[in-house]
Amino acid sequence: MNILNKFTVKSLKLNKKRTIVTIIGIILSTALICGVAGLVSSFQNSLINWTKYKDGNYHTTFYGVEKEKTKYITENQKVAKYFFTNQVGWAKLEGCKNESKPYVNIWEYDKTALENYGINLKEGRLPQNANEILIPEHIKTNARVNLKIGDKITFNVGTRQTSDGYDLNGNNPYIDDTEETLVNVEEKVYTIVGEIERWNYETYTSPGYIVMTYMENIDDKVNVSVLYNEPKEYIEINKNICTNTGLNEEIDTYVNSQLLRYQGVMSEITLNVLYTIAGIIIIIIVVSSIFVIRNSFSISVSEKNRQYGMLASIGATSKQIKKNVIFEGMLIGLIAIPLGIVFGIIAIIILLQVVNYLLADMLSGMRFMYSINWVAILISIIISIITIYLSCLIPARKAAKISPIESIRGNNDIKIKSKKLKTSVITKKLFGVGGVIASKNLKRSKKKYRTTVISLVVSIFIFISLSSFLTIGTKASTFYYMDFKFNMFVLNGNADIYEEIAKLDNVDEYAYYYETSLDFDKAKYASDFGKNRFEQNPYDKNSIAIIIYNNEYFKKYIKELGIKEENYKSAVILIDEGRQSNDDGSKTIERLYKIKNGDKINVAKDEKIREITITKCTDNSPMGQETVYHDNGKIIVSEDFMREVFDEVPNNSYRISNLLIESKKAQELENRINDLIKQNEKYFELEVQNYETYIKQEQRSLLVIKIFLYGFITVITLIGVTNIFNTITTNMILRSKEFAMLKSIGMTTKEFNRMIRLESIMYGTKSLLIGIPLGILGSYGIYKAFAQGIDFGYMFPYQAVIVSIIFVFIIVGITMKYSLNRINKQNIIETIREDNI
Residue 206: pLDDT over 70: yes
Residue 195: pLDDT over 90: yes
* Average pLDDT across the chain, whole number: 80
What is the number of other CB atoms lying within 10 angstroms of the CB of residue 802?
Answer: 10
Residue 723: pLDDT over 90: no
Report which of 59, 98, 54, 65 is spatially closest to residue 202, judged by C-alpha positions. 54
**Angle formed by the axes of helices 318-358 and 3-14, nearest 10°:** 50
What is the pLDDT, as a whole number, of residue 362?
59
What is the pLDDT, as a whole number, of residue 432?
65
List strand residue ranges (DSSP E) for 618-708, in order.
634-638, 655-656, 659-662, 687-690
CA atoms of 311 and 780, how far apart (whole Å): 53
Residue 299: pLDDT over 60: yes
| Lowest-pLDDT choice from 167-176, 391-400, 495-504 | 391-400
602 within 8 A of 610, measured Cβ to Cβ: yes
Bridge partners (DSSP) listed for residue 610: 603
Give tens-digit pLDDT for 666-677: 888 888 988 888
One DSSP character per residue, 467-507 reads HHHHHHHHHHHHHHHHT-S-SEEEES--HHHHHHHHTSTT-
CA atoms of 512 and 38, how far apart (whole Å): 51
CA atoms of 371 and 50, how far apart (whole Å): 14
What is the pLDDT, as a whole number, of residue 837?
45
CA atoms of 668 and 690, how far apart (whole Å): 11
Report which of 102, 69, 83 is spatially closest to residue 214, judged by C-alpha positions. 83
What is the pLDDT, as a whole number, of residue 836?
47
Which are the contacts of 548, defined by CB distance < 8 A and separation ≥ 6? 513, 514, 515, 516, 637, 638, 639, 641, 642, 650, 654
Residue 754: pLDDT over 70: yes
CA atoms of 40 and 556, how far apart (whole Å): 53
CA atoms of 371 and 45, how far apart (whole Å): 7
| Lowest-pLDDT choice from 168-172, 219-223, 235-239, 565-569 | 168-172
CA atoms of 308 and 407, how far apart (whole Å): 8
CA atoms of 655 and 633, how far apart (whole Å): 17
Give tens-digit pLDDT for 77-105: 999 999 999 999 999 999 888 888 899 99
